[in-house]
Amino acid sequence: MSKHHSYRYIFGMTAAIITNLGLIAGLYFSSDAKTNIIGSILIIALADNISDSLSIHIYQESERFEAKEVWISTFSNFMVRLLVSLFFVLIVVFLPLLIASIILIVFGLLLLSFISYIVAKRRGMNPYVSIAEHLVIAILVVVVSRFLGEWITTQF
């Protein structure tokens, strides 16, 4: 098993969390926000997910990873992003948007913290510094997306 095996899910999960949190925050103020959020998450779960998975695939081929490892990483990334995105969609579908947004932001930040902790421990780094760094970036994405979404709603 290659040293990259244990990390194959990290990229996809992180990308799905940050992208979906940004979408929810950015589209919250749009008209018919729930439909827009669900549609956007599903489109990104396919289009952006395929783009990222293919990018990882080509990168790993260029770095001469074993063919089996390349395909496992490609498939793993695609599936974990799809599953995280579908979880987000289910929460938005079945809960009022404000409650769903709060739950998903808390869930996303907790999951990102968990991922950051595991990666930092494996690298011998201070996990709390890593968690803080990654949470600041995620929160910045949510805040900027929210203000951008609100501005777009008022301008157009």
Supply the pTM of this predicted model.
0.84
Q: By CB neighbour count within 10 A (0-12 exposed, 13-18 middle, 19+ buried), where does 126 fall?
A: exposed
Tokens 């599936």 belong to 79
Sequence-ordered alpha helix ranges (H) in the chain: 10-27, 33-62, 67-94, 97-123, 127-155
Q: What is the pLDDT along the chain (156 residues), one digit of tens a residue?
A: 455 555 666 777 888 888 888 889 888 877 788 999 999 999 999 988 898 888 889 989 998 999 999 999 899 989 999 999 999 999 999 999 999 999 999 999 999 999 999 999 999 999 999 999 999 999 999 999 999 988 888 888
CB atoms within 10 A of CB 35: 12
